[in-house]
Amino acid sequence: MRKRTLKTGIITRGLAVILILAMVVPLPALAVPGGVITTPVVPMELPIEVEIELSPAGSLKQAPLWKELIQLLRNPNAPVVRRPSFTATPLPALNVFPLDFNFLTGQPMRLRTSDGEISWDQPGPLFNPAEVVLLDAFNTPLALRTPIGALIASNDAVLNAGEVNGSTPCVAGVAGATCGFLLVSNPGGNPAIPPNGTIVAVPAVVGGLLQTLEPGSTVSTDLAELEIPINEEDFFANRPAAEVLGKALFWDMQVGSDGVQACGTCHFHAGVDNRTRNQLNPNHLGGDLTLQVKGPNQSVVAGDFPFHKLANPDTVSESSMCGHAGLPACGPNVVSDANDVMSSMGVIFRTFVDIPTPGAGAFGPAVLGVAALLPDIGIANSDPIPVFQGVRRVEPRHTPTFHGAAFNLDNFWDGRARFHFNGGSVFGPSDPQFHVFTDNGGAIEGVTNGHLRPDLIVDGDPAAGQPVRIKFSSLASQAVGPPLSDF
């Protein structure tokens, strides 16, 4: 598969950007012991996709999304059609290279004859591994070992000992030809390296087509197509339409059980949550049901941070975990300590009963011509976390940003939104439950965790026993978590 490359100037350009930012954004003064560092005020972000390059170093727009990788798998030699931006601005072309080009060395890729895998080897001297040379403190040799042979790239039908680049034109199709092969040059017969003329690797691309090689063989055959993961397209008749629908649902407050809470509610500012009122969780997962920083439904201010304050921050002897259940008391250097979590509020604790009967009665009065869907029908319950009684519950962890989430193999802070979507839960293959079912001659069978399809077994199709899961879909796994969350 073609690979992207980092431009050599990206580090220096990135440093230049940092220096520019330092000149235009006033940096806060260093905090005094026990003081507060205030984050500079930044403008509220509109809920739109940022469609500009953020710096000369580029952005994640240079990285391919899964659908663009699918294009490369279908036809590695065709240009990639990139998704249109929401502002109709064309995205920059991907940095792609020929299939047999090693962008790190500039050498063509080859297939190792030992196992048929991609070889990163390139022409160069071979040394006696038993020869001892002095090493420095970083385990770097202080002198070169004595060359006893070389790897050479042959361009001939017949190997010429000592040849490096090849002087005779390669005659394609000639029996015994070593066109583009990596061979061992060992004219002295040194037993420390393979014999003279040993074929180490063969070209990975011949005539513009990828090759496949049986381990231990030097004969390659054209690879008809690259493997596209099973089930990738079974679920999407129109992926662009699914993306538009997903974006609409993300910002729609009617998706929330109370008619107010949307995904975007907690992902509004730089893809994350910047609200300050009723945003504290007492650390109920740690067994604490009381708030220390502020009371219920109150706003935090800059002076409340950090939650663990030291009179002398340079003194590291005081643990940030002190004064709580089962932990030693805080020492004199601790000005204040709290195990509260600055997080994101969600919904009020209640029991779901039903949804409004579909039809005209399921919508409230129209406002500016738009009638919103009524909230779900539910019963208010006493919240088991007393500080949330009568107010919205607050999650045990803060909302992560969604910017760049399409490039994560797994999502959520702990990665529990799995790479493989099982059709119904966050946990992917680790979920033993069935979430997708099929009608097999009248028998309903769960297919999430693997099944057998007799129609495919006959032809030996590898899809016959594959579980029905969608790869590269951790955001789908993530999306099914919040609807069933009691927060």
DSSP tag of 411: B
Q: Residue 175's pLDDT is what?
A: 54
In order, the DSSP letters of 53-101 are: --STT--GGGSPPHHHHHHHHH-TTSPP-PPPPTTSPPPPPP----TTB
Q: In angstroms, rounded to a whole number, what is the distance separating the alpha carbons of residues 431 and 379?
A: 30
List residues bridging with 276 in a β-sheet. Answer: none
Q: In angstroms, rounded to a whole number, what is the distance separating the alpha carbons of residues 378 and 381?
A: 9
Q: What is the CB-side half-sphere exposure of residue 199 using CA atoms within 13 A?
A: 24
Q: Among residues 350, 311, 317, which one has the least CA distance to residue 333?
A: 311
Q: Residue 165's pLDDT is what?
A: 41
Beta strands in 128-261 (DSSP E): 147-153, 182-185, 199-203, 205-206, 209-213, 220-222
Q: Residue 191's pLDDT is what?
A: 92
Residues, the chain: 487
Q: In angstroms, rounded to a whole number, what is the distance separating the alpha carbons of residues 3 and 95?
A: 8
Q: Residue 282's pLDDT is what?
A: 96
Q: Are 392 and 457 in contact (CB under 8 A)?
A: no
Asked if the bond preceding 306 is cis, omega within 30° of 0, the reply is: yes
- From first to last of its 487 residues, the chain has per-residue pLDDT tens of 333 332 223 222 232 222 223 333 333 344 455 555 555 454 444 333 333 333 344 456 667 777 788 788 888 777 888 876 656 676 778 777 777 888 778 888 899 998 888 888 888 899 988 888 888 888 888 888 889 999 988 876 554 444 444 445 565 555 566 788 898 999 889 999 999 989 999 888 887 788 888 877 888 888 877 777 655 566 666 777 888 888 899 999 998 889 899 999 999 888 899 999 999 999 999 999 999 999 999 999 999 999 988 888 877 655 666 777 777 778 888 888 899 999 999 999 999 999 999 999 999 999 999 899 999 999 988 999 999 999 999 999 998 888 878 778 899 888 899 988 888 999 988 888 888 887 878 888 887 766 555 665 666 666 556 667 777 788 889 989 888 888 9
List residues bridging with 345 in a β-sheet. Answer: 394
Can you give the residue ranges of every domain in the chain? 1-97, 101-228, 230-273+399-487, 274-342
Q: Residue 21's pLDDT is what?
A: 30
Q: Are 120 and 100 in contact (CB under 8 A)?
A: no
Q: In angstroms, rounded to a whole number, what is the distance separating the alpha carbons of residues 482 and 478?
A: 8
Structural tokens at position 423: 């059709």
Number of DSSP helices (H) and strands (E) in the chain, helices first: 5, 19
Q: Residue 94's pLDDT is what?
A: 79
Q: Residue 464's pLDDT is what?
A: 59
Query: 120-132 pLDDT, tens per residue?
Result: 888 889 998 888 8
Q: In angstroms, rounded to a whole number, what is the distance separating the alpha carbons of residues 34 and 45?
A: 32
* φ, ψ (nearest 5 deg) of residue 112: -65, 135
Q: Could you tell me the pTM of the whole model?
A: 0.61
